Structure 1
């Protein structure tokens, strides 16, 4: 949108700018930071036409505007909120705002519409519309100066020192508004002496010292790179004045949680061979640990004629017997336990079929490992200590909430642990806390996206990333969620309780795969019918083997999730291998509104209701608004009167709601109305996903 090349400017004989080059892309927020006298305001005034450059060029939307006057710049889509506010104290708030649109000669109706938009964004100004501007507080005057600029409907908004002279709380409010403007699509060039504030609110930044650009780059990189902070921000040195920014007089920059910026949770391996050596060592340790500590594994290994000494290569993994969900339920309440009880510090559980849940136990090392690689998920998604992470997944015996929170705190971001549901509170927290990352199930993300769109607040929230999991979702659903969230970037995160919990993998910024943490577990793909290994690239059932899990190690655990290993390196450059997003299940397990439902649990409920038959079907659909619906079709028992249909349907729906915590529509049909098969009857008809997942 804006291109500046070799710009020079003088005040008389004194030169203020020396060959400045700067670019602002459409939709970007670009920060220009530097000390007093560095030339920041001069640069803005040159762009606005208030100061005539003595050399170089300024190009706006392809047009050379180097010598254009201010009124023409306003008509071309620029507006300036100047340093020091420059309010007209003897005019009212409304009159000050009207001045911003004078060069456009707007009609009365359009001027009134824009005025209402400003009042909607700055409610305090609406309350004081008839008050003299000189009686406003400093923060209110800054809001008015920004509102006056917005009256011009700018394509590019120039903000000059918006936090100057304001109290910290008011500064927070001003920068929240700046982020909202950016979310709404306004392009912003921000001049700010408080570099930490400017960098955290912008996409890229230029460091100006003595009229010259001395550093530039992505704002997050400048904030998070320890070397750059030491060199340019003075935040990692005992002598801030020795830094380049410190030498320019900017010594007031300090960042919270400085140690967090140095953390790197990616594995140290640089070659595939190094990774394979680590994996073999972990596999051998796991097999021995399981054989010596777990009665279940000792029995199954002995039955298979396997001893720990037989594992001498990664290929020997195929010799080991499979572990299934039934093994976990049969071993309830401490299945697969391989350490003494005194070493256990926590349990978590996933859904069960008939009351016996899959319970997994954890040592402290297990929890530390889980926290560490969950932080890796956040790192791969680009989350930093500057982010505010709203966690809208379940807490309690489930692994989701505590996993998301531990990883968030490990990486140093601010956790907002809200839990699932309660849409009004979710929206309120997005607005009040300006959360930048939203974590939820796929269906919750869609529900929130619809509500954000319905309330028209996409430009008032700050969510830039959505990390979702637990349910499969198609490309069209992902696109819809991103759009309604105002362009947020989506990351599909994987995991299961049996293997620590969520966080065992996540898609990278190239968004064509899931990178999985192969230094913590091995992944195989098998044919769910023949149990034969499948080559990379073919779809099949995911089987996992942990490499360092102490409490309840997993050896060739059949997850029932359908995916494929993607061969070759990822374009993102990560050495970690990858698999496709989860396409479905090899059994009939379904996920409905965040709840795992097993057909066998439905069968158990229905069989306890006299008058219902044994045959049923589960039909899952998704309406135009993105809401999932479950219709249960059940046969009446042989000889049961039609008149009892309403009573039986009501009782079935009530029992499913009570035991499975979901609402369903129940439809009763005649005895033998549903098809029979000599093989396994198809009971689940899931029509929610209508396009590709990859």
Structure 2
């Protein structure tokens, strides 16, 4: 077990809860109760500061979400009324990507926050084997997005060498992989790791020959079989990070994302943040093994612009504290299954998650795919269409399309029109964190239509 902070990693659940409440209580006293945004919010909700005397009472506070943060920033630019930061104390600014179409959240950080984020990020890189002199190649651009900046700071603090290749195209990234002894490849998303793999094979290179020892992915769910295959192709152990601009951060330990061919564990950092997993309908904490919405309070890293019970919109599966054989009792959730609640669709009376479709399509001969739900204007029926970019070669064609359609029907109880994608590659290219991969679109309020050739079942 690679320990970065033995006091935390060997602590009992009771000791971790004590550390967590001490940090949370101090955060509330120093940064929250007098904050203009929260003072107004809690007054409207009838919350009395004196009633919040323990963690149980804390979870009764109302949540805050993206729309409220954006409205606060709009009314009180540039950082919102939550920010009580003097200009001289500003050390960093990070923004969300804006891919929701509703605007970008903007967060200022002071030195305390920068140090807190670094403390959160260091764990995952240490567990992935980064030490003094380790070469870490990152495919995430260094922009106002959080990940590139925070990865850079954490790796440097561990004594690692950070190769910032995110602003280069895929061909240039392959050159770096060929010429440097890369210990850890931060590939951004699973989709972009696949893009690098395909590009290497197209150039006659074997990903194994790069000699990468470990790979970090984030941002997308994945199936076990798919990731195990990637580990075999690259000859490297793959780790997952869960992270957000709001400083909800969790990591796989040194066992990786698919240890022994099973799902790994994402360890949270309870001495630095409070992670809740709640039923989005009732607001109640879910039981171990159940899925719910992640609510985050990063009390160690948001002093300049406090976040209290931020509703992430991310669906995670809560695990017991002793879920991982590594021996750490850090609260955890399941690796490879984190996804957005808005990535769950309902069609023809059936609910399905995008990750369930990924599991079938990407393990049945397709490199990537694009999909939509639409209304057929002739029949008024809901239709589901998948355009699949198939693996090259004579073994993948109409038979593969029919197999995908059949497997989807058997797994989901839904008929999918599966066709060949005709166009440039769907695999992400270049600055992969600037545009989050959106495989699905819901076009049921627009006019229907179809394209491509293929098969349905």
TM-score by length of 2: 0.71
2:293 to 541, 545, 548: 541
Task: State the secondary structure of the residue aligned to 1:331.
Answer: helix
1:449 CA drift (Å): 2.2
Q: Which residue is 2:406 aligned to?
A: none
- Confirm or deny that 1:571 pairs with 2:325: yes
1:562 CA drift (Å): 1.1
**For the structure 1 residues 425 and 625, does the alpha-carbon distance in structure 2 shift closer, same or farther, using more than 3 Å as the test?**
farther
**For the structure 1 residues 425 and 633, does the alpha-carbon distance in structure 2 shift closer, same or farther, using more than 3 Å as the test?**
farther
Q: Which residue is 2:143 aligned to?
A: 396
Q: Which residue is 1:505 aligned to?
A: 250
Where do 5+ consecutive residues of structure 1 fail to align?
1-220, 225-262, 591-617, 637-658, 675-694
**For the structure 1 residues 587 and 575, does the alpha-carbon distance in structure 2 shift closer, same or farther, using more than 3 Å as the test?**
closer
Per-residue CA deviations over 1:386-427 (Å, capped at 9, x if unaligned) read: 421100013211111111111111111111110166111111
**For the structure 1 residues 660 and 515, does the alpha-carbon distance in structure 2 shift closer, same or farther, using more than 3 Å as the test?**
closer
Cα distance in 2 between the residues matched to 1:494 and 1:668: 29
Task: Give matches, 1:51-90, under 5 Å.
Answer: none
- Confirm or deny that 1:494 pairs with 2:246: no
Q: Which residue is 2:233 aligned to?
A: 484
- Confirm or deny that 1:556 pairs with 2:309: yes
- Confirm or deny that 1:452 pairs with 2:200: yes
Per-residue CA deviations over 1:280-332 (Å, capped at 9, x if unaligned) read: 11221222334344322111211222233322222112221111111111112
Cα distance in 1 between the residues matched to 2:255 and 2:111: 34
1:635 CA drift (Å): 8.1
**For the structure 1 residues 304 and 498, does the alpha-carbon distance in structure 2 shift closer, same or farther, using more than 3 Å as the test?**
same
Task: State the secondary structure of the residue aligned to 2:304.
Answer: coil
1:523 CA drift (Å): 1.2
Cα distance in 2 between the residues matched to 1:461 and 1:354: 38
1:462 CA drift (Å): 1.7
2:82 to 337, 350, 373: 337
Per-residue CA deviations over 1:664-686 (Å, capped at 9, x if unaligned) read: 99999997769xxxxxxxxxxxx
**For the structure 1 residues 412 and 318, does the alpha-carbon distance in structure 2 shift closer, same or farther, using more than 3 Å as the test?**
same
Task: Give matches, 1:42-53, under 5 Å.
Answer: none
Task: Give matches, 1:466-477, under 5 Å.
Answer: 466-477=215-226
Q: Which residue is 1:231 aligned to?
A: none
1:468 CA drift (Å): 0.8
The answer to whether the Cα contact below 8 Å between 2:20 and 2:271 also exists between their aligned partners in 1 is yes
Q: Which residue is 2:278 aligned to?
A: 526
The answer to whether the Cα contact below 8 Å between 1:632 and 1:664 also exists between their aligned partners in 2 is no
1:631 CA drift (Å): 4.7
Compare 663-672 and 347-356 and name the one that shifted more: 663-672
Cα distance in 1 between the residues matched to 2:314 and 2:441: 28
Per-residue CA deviations over 1:223-266 (Å, capped at 9, x if unaligned) read: x9xxxxxxxxxxxxxxxxxxxxxxxxxxxxxxxxxxxxxx9445
The answer to whether the Cα contact below 8 Å between 2:315 and 2:338 also exists between their aligned partners in 1 is yes
Cα distance in 1 between the residues matched to 2:445 and 2:250: 47
Q: Which residue is 1:514 aligned to?
A: 266
The answer to whether the Cα contact below 8 Å between 1:329 and 1:358 also exists between their aligned partners in 2 is yes
The answer to whether the Cα contact below 8 Å between 1:284 and 1:308 also exists between their aligned partners in 2 is no
- Confirm or deny that 1:430 pairs with 2:170: no
Cα distance in 2 between the residues matched to 1:661 and 1:505: 19
- Confirm or deny that 1:380 pairs with 2:132: no
The answer to whether the Cα contact below 8 Å between 1:521 and 1:545 also exists between their aligned partners in 2 is yes
**For the structure 1 residues 505 and 372, does the alpha-carbon distance in structure 2 shift closer, same or farther, using more than 3 Å as the test?**
same
Cα distance in 2 between the residues matched to 1:434 and 1:506: 24
**For the structure 1 residues 317 and 586, does the alpha-carbon distance in structure 2 shift closer, same or farther, using more than 3 Å as the test?**
farther
The answer to whether the Cα contact below 8 Å between 2:97 and 2:435 also exists between their aligned partners in 1 is no
Cα distance in 1 between the residues matched to 2:208 and 2:448: 52
Task: Give matches, 1:63-462, under 5 Å.
Answer: 264-265=4-5, 267-268=7-8, 270-332=11-73, 333-335=78-80, 337-342=82-87, 343-352=89-98, 353-354=100-101, 356-419=103-166, 422-440=169-187, 441-454=189-202, 455-462=204-211
Compare 307-316 and 534-543 and name the one that shifted more: 307-316
CA RMSD of aligned residues (A): 3.4
1:540 CA drift (Å): 1.0
**For the structure 1 residues 378 and 663, does the alpha-carbon distance in structure 2 shift closer, same or farther, using more than 3 Å as the test?**
closer
The answer to whether the Cα contact below 8 Å between 2:33 and 2:49 also exists between their aligned partners in 1 is no
**For the structure 1 residues 530 and 420, does the alpha-carbon distance in structure 2 shift closer, same or farther, using more than 3 Å as the test?**
farther
Cα distance in 1 between the residues matched to 2:105 and 2:121: 22
1:467 CA drift (Å): 0.7
The answer to whether the Cα contact below 8 Å between 2:94 and 2:108 also exists between their aligned partners in 1 is yes
**For the structure 1 residues 667 and 294, does the alpha-carbon distance in structure 2 shift closer, same or farther, using more than 3 Å as the test?**
closer
The answer to whether the Cα contact below 8 Å between 2:321 and 2:329 also exists between their aligned partners in 1 is no
Task: State the secondary structure of the residue aligned to 2:243.
Answer: strand
Cα distance in 2 between the residues matched to 1:279 and 1:563: 21
The answer to whether the Cα contact below 8 Å between 1:323 and 1:558 also exists between their aligned partners in 2 is yes
**For the structure 1 residues 348 and 459, does the alpha-carbon distance in structure 2 shift closer, same or farther, using more than 3 Å as the test?**
closer
Cα distance in 1 between the residues matched to 2:265 and 2:435: 32
- Confirm or deny that 1:583 pairs with 2:337: yes
The answer to whether the Cα contact below 8 Å between 1:288 and 1:308 also exists between their aligned partners in 2 is no
**For the structure 1 residues 289 and 323, does the alpha-carbon distance in structure 2 shift closer, same or farther, using more than 3 Å as the test?**
farther
1:574 CA drift (Å): 1.8
Per-residue CA deviations over 1:156-177 (Å, capped at 9, x if unaligned) read: xxxxxxxxxxxxxxxxxxxxxx
**For the structure 1 residues 436 and 334, does the alpha-carbon distance in structure 2 shift closer, same or farther, using more than 3 Å as the test?**
same
Task: State the secondary structure of the residue aligned to 1:499.
Answer: coil
Per-residue CA deviations over 1:7-26 (Å, capped at 9, x if unaligned) read: xxxxxxxxxxxxxxxxxxxx
The answer to whether the Cα contact below 8 Å between 1:635 and 1:668 also exists between their aligned partners in 2 is no
Q: Which has the bigger relative contact order, CA under 8 A and spacing at least 6?
A: 2
Cα distance in 2 between the residues matched to 1:663 and 1:572: 34
Higher CA-based Rg: 1
1:531 CA drift (Å): 2.0
**For the structure 1 residues 524 and 582, does the alpha-carbon distance in structure 2 shift closer, same or farther, using more than 3 Å as the test?**
farther
1:586 CA drift (Å): 5.3
